[in-house]
Homo-oligomer: A and B are copies of this chain.
C-alpha cells in the first residue's frame, strides 16, 4: 500500500491512512506500506535549501529531502500502535533499497528485503519511507526523484512477492481523459502496463513512469485507488489480464512542452549524437525528435526539431550554445508555448485508420499539428498549448470514450467490451 503526500497531509488524514492499513491487516493480509512526505513538506525543504544556496549540492539535497518521508512513517507507526497493531517504520536504507549514487535521481539496483521479511514474520506492519534508498558504494542517502515513492512501492511489492501494489492517491483511478477537461471522462477498470506506460509518458500524472516500467518488468499488479473513498480504482496489469481491448483507452495531454528547432546542422555522421549527448549531459528530458534530411545541394545542412518539458528549455538552450560553431548550426529557434495530445490504446495495434481519424478530428477543430510521433499503441501530436483542451475534448468524443458512450463499468474480470 502506498500513500501519497495528500493522503498523509495532516493528522486526520494520516490516521485515516493508518486505519486503512490496519483494515487490510485485519483482513488477513501481510502489509507493507510506503509513505510519501506530508503535503508540502518536500516543497518547504526545497525552499529552505534555496534560501541557503542557489545551487545546493545534490548529495546534501538528498540528505535533506529524505527526512520528509521518515516523518510520515514514524507518525503513521504511532497511529497504528494506537489502533492496537504492531508496526515498525524503516528508512529506505533500513528497508534494503539499494540504489546507484546518482543523487536526486537515483535508480534502484536491488532490494534486500530481509529486514522487511523478518518484521512481517513477526506479525508487524512495515512502514517504509518512500522516494529514497542508500547508495551501493558510499552508503549515502539517495532519492529517486519526484514521485519516486511509487517506484519504492512497486519495487518492494516485487521484492516481497506481494499480491498487489495498491497506490492510494487523491484521485479515484485512471480516467479516459482528465476529468477537469472532459466532463464525461470515465474511470477505467483496467489498463495494461504498456498502455499505462504510454499514458504516463504522455501526460497522465497518476503514476510515475518509472514505477510502471518497474511493475511491467517484474510483473507487479498495481491498483490505483482513492485514499478518501472505498470501492475499486484502476488496475494496471499484464496485457493478458485486461481481456478484450477497446480500440482506444484514453486521451492524455500535456501543456508544458517547448520546442527547439536547429537549422543548418552540418550533414555529417555523429552530429545528432553530439547534440543529444549534450542535452543528456545537461539532464534535459528530450521527448519527440524530428529530423529532415537536406533536400539538395542548395540547402545548408539538416533541420532538427525536438521537444523538451518547458522547465528544461533554458537548460537545453544553454547546452546547445557551445555546439553552434562545432556543428555549424545556422540558427536555433525555440517555441516555449507548446502542448501535446495523445491517444493511447492497445487495440489500435490491429486497427489501421486510427491515425487518420486523429488527424481528421484535429483538422476539423482547426488545430494545426506541428509534430507527430507514434508507437504501436499511441499517437501523439504536438500542438499549440492553448488548443490542448479543445483537442482533448474532440478526440475523447470522436473515439466515444465517454461514460455515456459505452456501458458502465463492471468489476474487473467481467469486462465485456
Contact = CB atoms under 8 A, between A and B. Distances in A.
Contact of A81 (B57, B70, B88, B140): B57
A79 B59 contact: no
B52 A15 contact: yes
Nearest to A56: B78
Interface string A1-16: 0000000000100110
Nearest to A115: B139
A60 B89 CA distance: 7
A57 B77 contact: yes
A2 B88 CA distance: 32
Grouping DSSP codes into helix (H, G, I), strand (E, B) and loop, the A interface class, with mixed when no group exceeds half, is helix
A45 interface: yes
A327 interface: no
Contacts of A81: 53, 56-57, 60
Nearest to A48: B75
Contacts of A74: 49, 60-61, 63-64
Given A57-B81, A82-B53, A71 B48 contact: yes
Q: Taking the full assembly, how many copies of this chain does it contain? A: 2
Most chain B Cβ neighbours within 10 Å, of A59, A78, A141: A78
Nearest to A15: B52
Nearest to A18: B52
Given A63-B89, A94-B139, A52 B79 contact: yes
Interface string A226-242: 00000000000000000
Interface of A: 11, 14-15, 45, 48-49, 51-57, 59-61, 63-64, 66-67, 70-71, 73-79, 81-82, 88-89, 91, 94, 139-141
Given A11-B51, A45-B71, 10 more contacts: A11-B52, A14-B52, A15-B52, A48-B75, A49-B74, A49-B75, A57-B78, A61-B78, A63-B91, A67-B71
